Structure 1
Amino acid sequence: MQNINTQIFTLLVAAVLFVWIFKRVGLPPILAYLATGVLAGSHSVGWMTQTHEMDLVAELGIVFLLFSLGLEFSISRLMAMRNIVFGLGSLQVVVTSTVLIVILYCLNFSLLTSFTIGVIMMLSSTAVVVKLLKENGELNKRRGQLAIGVLLLQDIAVVPLLIILPLLAATGSQSISWALAVALTKGAFVCLLLWAIGKWILPKVFNEIALVRTDELFMLTTLLVALFAALLTYSFGLSMALGAFLAGMMLGESHYRHQLEADIRPFRDILMGLFFVTVGMQLNVMYVLNNSLLIIGALVGLLVLKIAVMAISAQLMGERKQDALACAFMLWQMGEFGFVLIALGAQHQLLTNQQVSFLIALGVLSMALTPFLIDKTPFILKRIGVLDRASQAWESEPKSSTLYSDHVIICGFSRVGQTVARFLKPEAIDYIAIESNPILVQEGKAAGEPILFGHVKQKDILKCAGVERARLVIITFTEFEQTQIVIDAIKQVAPEVKILIRTKDDSQLERLKELGVTEVVPETLEASLMLVSHVLSMSGVPMSRIIRRVSTERHNRYQLLQRFFTGEYLDVDEGAHERLEYLHVIALPDKAFAVNKSIAALNLAKRKVSIKALRRQNNEIENPSEHTILLANDILILQGKPRRVERVEHYLFDGIE
């Protein structure tokens, strides 16, 4: 046990030092992890012993990576990319494999060995490419989408290969069609099962978990879902990564997507680092030195072949030349699933020990060179004349998706947050709210509000809201300890952004200013100012034009404070609950009583409830007229006291008075 603890501690020290050194010289962390593995492996210093348990834990890094990748791709988005995934991806897989098999067969390898090596070299590294795309902010650019589409098809192709290779070793070329049919049947069944679970079970599970409002429980549930999906596909003899990707894709449809990605990221990054360490440990440095010329020649050949096939295939599919070449430079390396197939081939005597060592060296070196090649892609394309006129556009593309710019971020969307949003909307000021109460998120989204589910203390959630490009961040909750954490997270991501904060009193005013808050609004002072304005007005004291305007604005704001979504509960006493009017969102089903009736015919005025807004096919109508006819699937925003709104909701649905 002492020896294992020492090995792990030494590995962590080496990883920290290598990552720090590589980042200081501008190299990606992936290379640092590979270098750590090379140093720790049995072929070098050899203080780490690679075990089955270590490989399994490292494989979890791939599982979490594919889970987070699935969160980026909803079913609708995948269907929109079907031409890339099933068109370009299939073309790349078939053409690259065929060319490699023919070349190897011409070099006097047996047909069985040629097939095994060809399909191994055909695969690219999802782990390396996706990590680099995320770091460079190119996941949503066209070249990034092309790469992801091809990688998805390659990962799907691994499933039948894991079944076919053992059968090839046992029966030669017999039963291949049967093995392929079995693999595809298993894959289709598991996909259907996970789709059903993701559509009908997981949303309800996360709704209940989110209502508990416990960060640890939400994080544990996220890990459990990813591992459950991975183990489900593994139990059917399929890839664990495939199950994790499908689970992530199902949850990518929900409004919990950003929080799920933020929760899974620390585990994903740490385990991905361990995966690359295990890859580096397999590299035999002496073998590379003794066969350096042969390996360099094979690297150059792999580079030229895969780039040529990928670039030509993409252009045949109608892609721009610069995107086709950029995608080709991303996908030229061997992939992590190739190491799984190498181990499988060695186990079933499809590959000799020398061939295994050669392929491992080729895979590790190609993965190590990929970050450098991707970083230099604009320079290479410019040198060969592809970016003569488009180079400026390439360099000026933003590093991340900019859905919002020069906007306001509202941290917390309860009464205060909603009031702020209502003042911003008429002024055409873009805003986005971040809220951890799932009911408020559902109500807000149903009403068309731009709102994210998540915890504002997490930097990933703030980045999703575009805090780097925001003009102002408003913190609407008053707990000082929580606000300190949020302010620190904001300043780490966007040091220059202005922060406006609400507090109960002015006792922490100086402390908040020291933390970097731009403005502090203490509730007690604001309440005093409002009270003074009303007293002076009711006492008949003459006011200047400025004072009258301030009094009018505050009087309007006071009335608007009565209108808010309640979420699960109100932060007022029971008596006040019944005195306040609030907003409630309902959607009219097809057979509702109110469908095809005018608002006037429903006579909601006598029930003291009003329709403040109506959303129909993404169009919002504020204060709809009495003559408006309600249609099926209309979303109504009702305003009134709680019990009255509840009675009106039943009346609109079934017509019962």
Structure 2
Amino acid sequence: MPNQDFLGDFLLILAVALPIAILFTRLQLPSLVGFLIAGVLIGPHGFKLIGASQSVEALAEIGLILLLFVVGLELSFGQLSQLGTRVVVAGTAQLVVTGLAVALVFLLSQENLGLLALLGAFVIVHSSTAIVLKVLSDRKELDTLHGRICLGISLVQDLALLPMMMLVRALGSSGGWTGEAVLRVLGQSVIGLVIIVVAARLLLPTVLRQGVAMRSREVFTGTIVVVALGTAWVAAQFGLSFAMGALIAGLVISESEYSHAVVADVLPFRDTLNSIFFISIGMLVPVGAVLAEWPFFVASAALVLAGKAAIVFVIVWLLYRSDRVAFHVALALASMGELAFVLLRAALEWQALDLATYERFVAVAVLTMLPAPFLVAGSERLWAWYERSRGRGRTRRHQGEAADARARHVVIVGFGLNGENLARVLRATGIPFVVVELDPRRTRAARVENAPVIYGDATKSQVLRAAGVDRAQVVVIAISDAAATRRIVSHVRHLAPEVPIIVRTRYVAEIEELRRLGAAEVIPEEFETSVEIFARVLRRLRVPRNIINAQIDLIRSEGYSMLRGVELPRQTLDQLDAILAATLTESFLVARDSPICGMTLRDLRIRKETGATVIAIVRDGKPITNPPPDEPIRGGDILVLVGSHEQLDRALQLLEGRVHQA
């Protein structure tokens, strides 16, 4: 029975997809690569566990629609503008230069390949956003400079998909290169696109608003599915593809206030159906042809990887002047991407290429994507090997202000939030400093604030020499790139063995390695955030300041040890809260073995020496208000003081000083 065949194929695909997803998640690799491999193995060209199935193709088509719908949702012109003009220029240049190079190769290889050359250019220029961003996210490198560049170029590539699909449709449906036919089909596509976009902008916000007003998750999710599939169907009626319609719907909704909620609800459907889509793509790889002509396929994949990497490297280097950043971006964007399959399916549907050529393109695309996660993850090790093989950095001076006149200054690596704030404080206190920054936007921001800045890659010894690290009082490293941070610490320690290095990092796990490399102090963001949170919580609960400070010192000295020490009963805290409400007060806990135990308030001379007054003593959970001067102090007492900020600070210093002196 057909239904039984469909169910069997569907269950087999899900049975393969689930363990693949689990395995690749544990290996910290993108599941997409596993789905492609699984499709190759179980498909009609592999072990023939599953044959060509119209039902599976229909599910794959729905997966493709949701994939393009979410791609549209995640695109943002605002995000592109935040990444900066250079990123947009880099993405545009990559599309143009790579496309022209690919088209030229096709045209030189054989005559009369105009349409195929154009299609090849469109397909090869795209890189795998899913693989690149997944690996960068796992490695916590999305906020690094090379991570932001990869994200920006990927966004530009995604935005180019729609006009590419329209042009492929025009050329394929017109049956050739006749200008009149191409313009007619392209005009129909543009008119249909305008109608759909205008209608979507007018109707979709209202539809989504009504779905939200129902306050039912099921209704909202159902509305999203209807919107995605409905827009795809409308696009098909205008001669566009289902996938193009879904992309348009996503783009329209991405500018609405409901975009994040839509993404959250669509992701479970998308991930499940996308696994079917990529497995179905893997099933199309002609294993026999690949094995028979493996030199051609391997050479083609290698040519794509090397060619794209070389072009991206040159473009990024010209814009950012950092060979290390250019190297990372080049390896990350060298492979072909999942959107190549979208264009190939559209070209096949519009008869712009035959099935055999389609399968060969798919095979080359899959071969370039298989090593992609390893290229991204291993780029830092490859770069380290390259630097070791060519020796230490060159000794030439780097572009930037000369540091010869500087002495006993502070070197700040990175002009993000932390670096900028530090620079302002140093300027206000008259301490000389110099900033080293690689991001052009932040370099401009530093110059706007009249901060002395060197534009360059601080992982290079010559840049650090230009900043005068060997004559600096302190070197502060405040960048988000963990690998670059380790490299900078190592170089600074080599160039200036005695200079203290203070490093801001994101995670506690990086502390030991940075200290091993020579950092004097490492300040992890997640650690300091946790300290600030518990300190504020304890202040809200009216815990005495000396206890808070003691806990902060304890946590900082022992890392993430369990909070321990003096424990205050809940009843005491409640009474303290009532006493201290709406007053400028502070409290001090007297330890059981404190040397001030047995002394009286007169002996402490708090009011005479500081101006603060002890207005109450909390003892055994009971407050003693307005205590007399001859009241003896006992261990476990909480002294409640009132006064100005200055008076309270002096009183606490007096009490703590007496404890330490004793």
Same fold by TM (over 0.5)?
A: yes
Please say if 1:325 is aligned against 2:327. Answer: yes
Map residues 122-201 of structure 1 onto 2, 5 A cutoff: 122-140=125-143, 141-170=147-176, 172-177=178-183, 179-184=185-190, 186-188=192-194, 190-197=196-203, 201=206
Alignment of 1:561-640 (within 5 A): none
SS of structure 2 residue aligned to 1:376: helix
Q: 2:100 matched to 1:98?
A: yes
Q: Would the alpha carbon gap of residues 134 and 336 (structure 1) be closer, same or farther in structure 2, given more than 3 Å must change?
A: same
Write the letter of the residue equivalent to 1:395.
Answer: A
CA distance in 2, matches of 1:107, 1:373: 29
Aligned equivalents of 1:425 and 1:35: distance in 2?
A: 60
Instruction: Report the equivalent of 2:376.
Output: 374
Contact 2:302–2:368, Cα closer than 8 Å, also in 1: no
Matched residue SS, 1:546: strand
Alpha-carbon distance in 2 for matches of 1:232, 1:319: 47
Which secondary structure does the structure 2 equivalent of 1:123 belong to? coil
User: Equivalent residues in 2 for 1:116-127 (5 A)?
Assistant: 116-127=119-130
The separation in 2 between residues aligned to 1:528 and 1:196, in whole angstroms, is: 61
Using the alignment, how far apart are the partners of 2:351 and 2:265 within structure 1? 42
**How do residues 72-471 of structure 1 correspond to structure 2 at under 5 angstroms?**
72-81=74-83, 83=85, 87-110=89-112, 111-140=114-143, 141-170=147-176, 172-177=178-183, 179-184=185-190, 186-188=192-194, 190-197=196-203, 201=206, 204-205=209-210, 207-209=212-214, 212=215, 214-231=216-233, 233-236=235-238, 237=240, 239-251=244-256, 253=257, 257=260, 259-318=261-320, 320-346=322-348, 350-385=352-387, 390=459, 393-395=481-483, 407=529, 423=540
Distance 1:241 1:138 in 2: 30
> Following TM superposition, by how much is the alpha carbon of 1:99 offset from its aligned partner in structure 2, in angstroms?
1.5
Mapped to 2, the partners of 1:263 and 1:407 lie a distance apart of 31
Secondary structure of the corresponding residue to residue 303 of structure 1: helix
Cα distance, 1:277 vs. partner? 0.7
Post-superposition shift, 1:170?
4.2
Letter of the 1:157 partner, please give it: P
Identity fraction in percent? 23
Contact 2:59 2:273 in 1 (8 A): yes
Question: What do residues 7-65 of structure 1 show as CA deviations (whole Å, max 9, x unaligned)?
Answer: 22232222333444445556442222112111221111222234344334334444444
Q: How far did residue 197 of structure 1 move?
A: 5.0
User: 1:337 & 1:531 partners in 2: Cα distance?
Assistant: 64
Partner of 1:48: 50
Give 1:361 deviation, angstroms: 1.0
Unaligned 5+ segments in structure 2 are: 394-457, 461-478, 486-504, 508-523, 546-554, 564-568, 579-614, 625-662
Amino acid at match of 1:83: T
TM-score normalised by structure 2 residue count: 0.55
Residue of structure 2 in register with 1:545 after alignment: 617
* Segment of structure 1 superposing worse, 181-190 or 120-129: 181-190
1:120 alignment partner AA: V
Q: Per-residue deviation at 1:240?
A: 3.6
- Distance 1:350-1:197 versus aligned 2 partners, 3 A rule: closer
What is the distance in 1 between the residues matched to 2:212 and 2:349?
46
2:5 aligned with 1:3: yes
User: What is the CA deviation profile of residues 235-284 of structure 1, one whole-angstrom value per residue up to 9, with x for unaligned ones?
Assistant: 54251442243145224x45x72x54433332222222222211111112
Q: Give 1:105 shift.
A: 1.3
Is contact 1:84–1:149 with CA below 8 Å preserved after alignment?
no
User: Alpha carbons of 1:320 and 1:228: their partners in 2 closer, same or farther (altered >3 Å)?
Assistant: farther
8 Å CA contact 2:73–2:263 kept in 1: the answer is: yes
Distance change in 2, residues 1:185/1:358 (3 Å)? same
- 1:585 aligned partner: none
Deviation at 1:293, TM superposition (A): 0.5
Report if the CA contact (8 A) 1:123-1:334 is conserved.
yes
| Distance in 1 (alpha carbons) for counterparts of 2:81 and 2:13 | 43
Q: 1:292 to 1:426 in 2, by over 3 A?
A: farther
Equivalent residue, structure 1, for 2:552: none
Deviations 1:532-583 (CA, angstroms, capped at 9, x unpaired): 999xxxxxxxx9622699889xxxxxxxxxxxxxxxxxxxxxxxxxxxxxxx
Q: Give me the whole-angstrom Cα distance separating, in 2, the residues matched to 1:498 and 1:217.
A: 46
Amino acid across the alignment from 1:545: I
Distance 1:230 1:333 in 2: 29
Equivalent AA in structure 2 for residue 378 of structure 1: E
Distance 1:159 1:424 in 2: 61
After TM superposition, where is structure 1 displaced by more than 6 Å over at least 4 residues in a row? 396-400, 402-405, 419-422, 424-428, 496-499, 525-534, 547-552
Aligned length: 447
Query: Greater shift after overlay, 259-268 or 82-91?
Result: 82-91
Note if contact 2:127-2:335 (Cα within 8 Å) is conserved in structure 1: yes
In structure 1, the residue corresponding to 2:255 is in which secondary structure? helix
What's the offset of the Cα at 1:315? 3.5
CA-CA distance at 1:364 after TM superposition: 1.5
Contact 1:63 1:241 in 2 (8 A): yes
SS in 2 for 1:169: coil
Query: What's the CA shift for 1:102?
Result: 1.5
The separation in 1 between residues aligned to 2:196 and 2:87, in whole angstroms, is 19
Distance 1:84 1:221, change over 3 A: farther
The C-alpha deviation readout for 1:424-444, integer Å capped at 9, x for no partner, is 99999xxxxxxxxxxxxxxxx
From the CA coordinates, give the structure whose radius of gyration is larger. Answer: 2
Q: Is the 8 A contact 2:69 2:250 kept in 1?
A: yes
Taking a change above 3 Å as real, the CA distance of residues 225 and 405 of structure 1, as seen in their structure-2 partners, is: farther
Quote the RMSD (CA, aligned, Å). Answer: 5.0
CA distance in 2, matches of 1:350, 1:399: 50
Structure 1, gaps ≥5 residues long = 410-418, 429-470, 472-495, 500-524, 535-542, 553-657
Deviation at 1:297, TM superposition (A): 0.9
**Per-residue displacement from partner, 1:129-155 (whole Å, max 9, x unpaired)?**
444455555455413323323322332
Deviation at 1:363, TM superposition (A): 1.3
The CA deviation at 1:344 is: 4.8
Q: 8 Å contact 1:229–1:244 — kept in the other structure?
A: yes
Q: Aligned letter for 1:363?
A: A
* Contact 1:41/1:48, CA 8 A, preserved across alignment: yes
Q: Deviations over 1:168-199 (max 9, x none)?
A: 5245454444544554454455445544556x
Distance 1:274 1:30, change over 3 A: same
Describe the SS at the equivalent of 2:618.
helix
Change (3 A) 1:183 1:315: farther
Structure 1 contact 69–248 (Cα < 8 Å) conserved: no
TM-score for the superposition, normalised by structure 1: 0.56
